Amino acid sequence: MKSETSESRIAVVAAIVGNVAIAAVKFVAAALTGSSAMLSEAIHSVVDTGNGSLLLLGIRQSARPADKSHPFGYGKELYFWTLVVAISIFGIGGGMSILEGIIHLRHPAQLQNPLINYIVLGVSALFEMGSWSVAVRQFRRVKGRRGMIRAIREGKDPSLFTVIFEDTAALFGLFIAFLGVFFGHELGNRYADGAASVAIGCMLAGVALWLATESKGLLVGESAQPEMVESILALVEEDEAVRHAGKALTMHLGPHEVLLNLEVEFVEGLPAEDIHTSIHRMERRIRGRHPEVKRIYIEVEAVARPPRAAVPPPGADDARAAEAEGLATGLQGGAAEAGGLPAGPEGRAEAEPPGGGRRA
């Protein structure tokens, strides 16, 4: 995880260095030629430089250890600062570029000395390509076999794909600025430069909205990848003490930190000591396969044995039978006396012989 964080930091630092140099060159070119598109590109580079600094701040803040006020750590700080970057791109980069373009569309002016613009655009493209290649190379190391678009949408480290977004938008912005300068110079169209500035602003606004959407999902709390969840459930059910693995709830607390809440049903009649040992065994297996799972909470659901029928002691059946027979005899004798018939020597009622005499 430290290597992935260092790769993100390398990409961000490379972007900051490139944007500082590019912004200085673009401002000089905009001042010499009066190009609206070039001024928009200079503003874009300044915004990208500030955004890179905010991303570095987020990376450093998110690495702080957990404390009493934040028991789960500060990993989501990076998601917050990425959202701030998206707002910055939308409001400052996109908004000012559109405003500058509208001003030049209302008051168009002819470009002066377009050769300077072409030179600056070429040099800026070289710097941007260098920064973009660094970001893409670092991103490829962590995306695995996934495609670029899928890896960006499923990525949990916004510092990497933010730099890719910004550098890609910068390259497209340079191309749009080139078209504005070219058509304004070759065709003598005074509106082409202002239109290019508006197009650059709209592109930046679109990139900002996409970045804000990705950041919002991470800030609210995204689950781990389905492949990871399936792998965790398979590891749990491999344990000999587990009868069934229930729900696995996951959430990213940071780019490289996952919270796991797991329901586990253990086999019937398992002693508490064996359950405790099994839990530690599962935690070691999960962290061994997925080291980003830092916090694991397991809800134990043991299967209770059905209550056993009471086994009577030896001789209890005979005693119960004798007791029942005595009770029946008493009831019969009581019934005989109530009817005027004396009870016999064994408690059975005897009838009198004819004539009222008793039998010998």
pLDDT attached to residue 350:
42
How far apart (Å, rounded) are the C-alpha atoms in residues 54 and 194? Answer: 30
pLDDT attached to residue 90:
85
pLDDT attached to residue 287:
94
The 10 Å Cβ neighbour count of residue 181 is 26
How far apart (Å, rounded) are the C-alpha atoms in residues 159 and 207? Answer: 15
Tell if the pTM clears 0.95, that is, is over it: no
User: Which residues in the chain are classed under CATH 1.20.1510.10?
Assistant: 2-220
H/E element, 250 = strand 242-254
The residue-averaged pLDDT of 197-209 equals 90
pLDDT attached to residue 340:
41
Residue 170 pLDDT grade (very low, low, confident, very high; cuts 50, 70, 90): confident
SS3 call for 345: coil
On the question of pLDDT at 310 being above 70, the answer is no
Q: Which CATH architecture has domain 2-220?
A: Up-down Bundle (1.20)
pLDDT attached to residue 334:
44
On the question of pLDDT at 312 being above 80, the answer is no
Residue 343 pLDDT grade (very low, low, confident, very high; cuts 50, 70, 90): very low
pLDDT attached to residue 357:
44
Tell me which of 316 and 211 has the higher pLDDT.
Answer: 211
Strand partners, 214: none
At the top level of CATH, the class of 226-302 is alpha beta
Of 44-48, 147-151, 324-328, which range is least confident?
324-328
Work out the mean pLDDT of the chain and round it to a whole number: 79
User: Which residues in the chain are classed under CATH 3.30.70.1350?
Assistant: 226-302
pLDDT tens digit sequence for 97-138: 898 889 888 888 776 777 888 888 888 888 888 888 888 887
Tell me which of 328 and 166 has the higher pLDDT.
Answer: 166
SS3 call for 295: strand
On the question of pLDDT at 359 being above 70, the answer is no
Going 261 to 266 to 269 to 270, the CA torsion angle's sign is: negative
To the nearest 10°, the Cα dihedral for 249, 253, 254, 260? -30
How far apart (Å, rounded) are the C-alpha atoms in residues 71 and 194? Answer: 52
The torsion angles phi and psi of 315, rounded to 5 degrees, stand at 85, -5
The residue-averaged pLDDT of 283-295 equals 93
How far apart (Å, rounded) are the C-alpha atoms in residues 280 and 270? Answer: 15
On the question of pLDDT at 347 being above 50, the answer is no
Tokens of 45: 């580079």
How far apart (Å, rounded) are the C-alpha atoms in residues 170 and 129? Answer: 9
Q: What is the DSSP letter of 188?
A: -
On the question of pLDDT at 260 being above 90, the answer is yes
Going 295 to 83 to 44 to 205, the CA torsion angle's sign is: positive
- Residue partners of 251: CB distance under 8 A and separation at least 6: 221, 222, 223, 224, 258, 259
pLDDT attached to residue 264:
93
Contact 181, 37 (CB under 8 A): yes
